[in-house]
Structure 1
Amino acid sequence: MAAEITLAVVAGAHGIGGAVRLKLFTPSLESLEAHRVFLAGDRALTLIDIRAEKTGAVARFAEVKDRNAAEALRGTLLNVPRESLPPLEDGEYYHADYLGREVQAPDGTVMGTVRTIENFGAGDILDITLTSGKSAMVPFTAEAVTEQGDQLIIDPIWLT
């Protein structure tokens, strides 16, 4: 399991006063508001203010004073320690727990690794980098994916 969980990424500067646009990886803005300090690489960022916008959020951090400093954060992941998050309910998971995990066929053959998890509106989909170098998208459902320890088992029929 990941020691830190990414809640957002800085998409760029917003205005001239040091605010940043965020792409959220949480189900709601409230999930982000629950935290005051974010781990951003080798530094901490202290949240002053955050508000929703159409494509994510706009935030201000105490350590970011102007547009140049805000623009320098573009692409920076905003993480929190895993232990600061609420316990998961049945059927919930953190994407970070699956990224990079090995995918195997039922016979143990390594098929690839999970690159990312997408959701285009109909449910979560595992984006898998296959050992052949190609990629495959598999619905993240009990019918398509089972877990055995740290391994994800997927019938090869889903990978064609």
Structure 2
Amino acid sequence: MKDLLVSIARVKGPRGLKGQIWLRPYGDSFEQFKHYKYIMVGKDHRPLEVVHCQQKGNMYIVELKGLNTREQVDSIKGEEVFIKKEWLPPLEDDEYYWCDLIGMQVFDLEGTYLGDLLNIFRTGSNDVYVVNKEKEYLIPATVDVVKEVSIKESKMIIDTAPLEGLME
């Protein structure tokens, strides 16, 4: 069975002439990113050893073994960066990885199916869940809205009362 892979970043492009790359991590992977010894790049999930990793703002400058020129980095520009899910550190209660939330069925407090959670994006104050059935809804990931998350059942329950006017 193939290991479950998680997309954690995207290659933004080369930095300099000697094969360093700019990576933009997804989600909250900033702190843990620098601890990965290997990452996998592109559709073929080619494993590459991380030689050096340095955070610069909301991005990373990464040096990978085997990438020595700007042209080599240009060939993977825009590619997704993956790790094995088992490499992710454990989370606290009520914390979730985006990869566990995407695809969940979302219901209101009365049990009405609202749609599937298709995407997540970060805003300044909280994440926003994109839920779609026949219509697309943007659901703020706040404690007054998200009432229950079950990874095991792939199900989320939200309170739509704080979203009055947004769910029509």
TM-score, normalisation: structure 2: 0.79
Give distance in 1, aligned partners of 2:157 and 2:128. 15
Give distance in 1, aligned partners of 2:54 and 2:159. 43
How far 1:116 moved relative to its partner? 2.1
Q: Which runs of 5+ in 1 are unaligned?
A: none
Matched, 1:89 2:92: yes
CA RMSD of aligned residues (A): 2.4
How far 1:70 moved relative to its partner? 0.4
Q: Which position in structure 1 is the counterpart of 2:68?
A: 65
Q: Which runs of 5+ in 2 are unaligned?
A: none
Residue 90 of structure 2 aligns to a residue whose secondary structure is coil
CA separation of 1:31 and 1:53: change in aligned 2, threshold 3 A: same
Q: Which position in structure 2 is the counterpart of 1:99?
A: 102
Q: Which position in structure 2 is the counterpart of 1:24?
A: 25
How far 1:156 moved relative to its partner? 5.1
CA separation of 1:19 and 1:81: change in aligned 2, threshold 3 A: same
How far 1:108 moved relative to its partner? 4.4
CA separation of 1:29 and 1:143: change in aligned 2, threshold 3 A: closer
Q: Deviations over 1:95-153 (max 9, x none)?
A: 1101122223445443222222222221222122x222x42211213432233532222
Give distance in 1, aligned partners of 2:126 and 2:65. 37
Matched, 1:147 2:136: no
Residue 32 of structure 2 aligns to a residue whose secondary structure is helix
How far 1:59 moved relative to its partner? 0.9
User: 2:8, 2:29 within 8 Å by CA — same for their partners in 1?
Assistant: no
**Fraction of identical pairs, as percent:** 25
After TM superposition, the structure 1 stretch with the greater mean CA deviation from structure 2, 110-119 or 34-43, is 110-119
User: 1:26, 1:32 within 8 Å by CA — same for their partners in 2?
Assistant: no
TM-score, normalisation: structure 1: 0.82
